Chains A and B, each alone.
Chain A
Amino acid sequence: MGVDAVTFAMITVLAGGGTFGIRALFIMLVRSQQINPKLLAALSFVPAAVFSGLVTHSLHLELLLKPGDPALINLVALSIAAFVSVKTKSIHWTLLTGMVTMWGLNWVVGLAQG
């Protein structure tokens, strides 16, 4: 049983190897700590741009228009967690606040829906 051997091998080798290649490309090639200052300035925007995109993508906000979708609950919980994160800069409190809020809201919605 399981996924057939050829399919599994192709995905593992090509996707796994390709992902490693993506990760390694610049790390392996760059041999000098001197990098173009303009490129460095652009790279300084990577965390804000990528993690903002990842947060938004994870929320699936495009589903908000669907009634009953958990995206709205997650959005509220994430907004409250964002407030806590700004105030505390703490990963622990951000995570705890978000999860507890999400569980609490789901519990309330579950009660309201009987």
Chain B
Amino acid sequence: MDNLVTNSMPAGAQPGRVKSILAAWGDAWPIAISVIPFGIVCGIGAVKAGMTAPQGIGISLALFAGASQIAVNEFLANDVPWPLIVIAALTINLRFLLFSAALAPQFARLAAWKKVILSYLLVDQVYALGVNAWDRADRPVLKTWYYLGVMFLLFPAFQGGNVAGIYLGAQVPKEWGFEFSVPLIFLAILVPAIKSKALAIAAAVAAVLTVALSFLPYMLGMFIAALAAIGVGYYYQEVAGHGR
């Protein structure tokens, strides 16, 4: 599983599995801390939606996607029919299609069973951390082991938070506002990713359109905004020829 190394690696500087995992842990620990409250919010929501503890744990393991899990909880609590809940969850998770397409070349040579594991573990944070880390010439890592290293922290942090939310959720004061850590993490991931004017334009278009389309249900506006932003950024850089 370790045949994939970062770009721009000098000869003789082969990184090891342990080094790659340790590099991942060094990058991911603050995110792991922040996804605990995200998991707690999901667990609290599951109980409020009427789920038993095994059901709350089961839905979290099945989806492993906080935003859609929160939506499922909300809809269940409001007696929305299950077909609509399924459609909503899948719509919210459509963004993973973009991540999957972007990561596919990196994992192309791996065995199918390894791809299944990596696919299941694909979340926003591991995608962003991976893309940023793999581009670093100063600290080469094995891509797959870095990815797994991140998830060795994030998976138990999120699922542990979910279990804590199910059993202890009522004791966490809402005023602490831990769910605000979610956009902060996304922001901390976004800023280093903006390395050119074209990327900045894409980010701005996505932000403006997400607000403009916020009347659409199930985060559909955000998905459309992201697609439009990719199109605008691509046009600016590749078609209009403004370069990087």
List chain A positions with a Cβ less than 8 A from chain B: 1-3, 6-8, 10-20, 22-35, 38-62, 70, 74, 77-78, 81-82, 85-86, 89-92, 94-95, 98-99, 102-103, 106
Looking at the assembled complex, report how far the CB atom of A6 sits from the nearest CB atom of chain B, in whole angstroms.
8
Which of B189, B191, B203 touches A86 (beta carbons < 8 Å)? B191
Cα distance A56–B211 in the bound complex, in angstroms: 7
Q: For B34, what are the chain A residues with a Cβ–Cβ distance below 8 Å?
A: 95
B28 closest partner in A (C-beta): A91
Is there an interface contact between A81 and B72, defined as CB atoms closer than 8 Å?
no
Looking at the assembled complex, report how far the CB atom of A92 sits from the nearest CB atom of chain B, in whole angstroms.
5
The CB with the most chain B CB atoms within 10 A, among A8, A25, A29, A89, is that of A8
Interface residues on chain B, size class: 35 or more
The CB with the most chain B CB atoms within 10 A, among A6, A51, A103, is that of A51
Which of B27, B108, B189, B198 touches A33 (beta carbons < 8 Å)? B108
Is there an interface contact between A54 and B202, defined as CB atoms closer than 8 Å?
no
Looking at the assembled complex, report how far the CB atom of A18 sits from the nearest CB atom of chain B, in whole angstroms.
5
Is there an interface contact between A15 and B63, defined as CB atoms closer than 8 Å?
yes
Residue B238 is within 8 A (CB to CB) of chain A in the complex: yes
Is there an interface contact between A11 and B86, defined as CB atoms closer than 8 Å?
yes
Looking at the assembled complex, report how far the CB atom of A42 sits from the nearest CB atom of chain B, in whole angstroms.
5
Residue B188 is within 8 A (CB to CB) of chain A in the complex: yes
Contact status of A48 and B202, CB under 8 A, knowing A16-B63, A23-B122: yes
Looking at the assembled complex, report how far the CB atom of A109 sits from the nearest CB atom of chain B, in whole angstroms.
11
Is there an interface contact between B95 and A50, defined as CB atoms closer than 8 Å?
yes
Q: For A19, what are the chain B residues with a Cβ–Cβ distance below 8 Å?
A: 62-65, 68, 89-90, 93, 96
Is there an interface contact between A53 and B226, defined as CB atoms closer than 8 Å?
yes
Contact status of A26 and B86, CB under 8 A, knowing A45-B229, A55-B183: no
Looking at the assembled complex, report how far the CB atom of A59 sits from the nearest CB atom of chain B, in whole angstroms.
6
Which of A20, A70, A103 touches B120 (beta carbons < 8 Å)? A20
Q: For A28, what are the chain B residues with a Cβ–Cβ distance below 8 Å?
A: 112, 115-116, 119
Known: A49-B225, A60-B214, A99-B181. 19 other contacts (CB 8 A): A3-B76, A7-B76, A10-B86, A11-B82, A15-B62, A16-B62, A19-B65, A23-B119, A26-B100, A28-B115, A32-B105, A41-B238, A49-B230, A53-B229, A54-B183, A54-B186, A57-B219, A74-B180, A82-B187
Is there an interface contact between A55 and B186, defined as CB atoms closer than 8 Å?
yes
Is there an interface contact between A27 and B119, defined as CB atoms closer than 8 Å?
yes
Q: For B49, what are the chain A residues with a Cβ–Cβ distance below 8 Å?
A: 3
Is there an interface contact between A51 and B102, defined as CB atoms closer than 8 Å?
no
Residue B104 is within 8 A (CB to CB) of chain A in the complex: yes
Looking at the assembled complex, report how far the CB atom of A94 sits from the nearest CB atom of chain B, in whole angstroms.
4
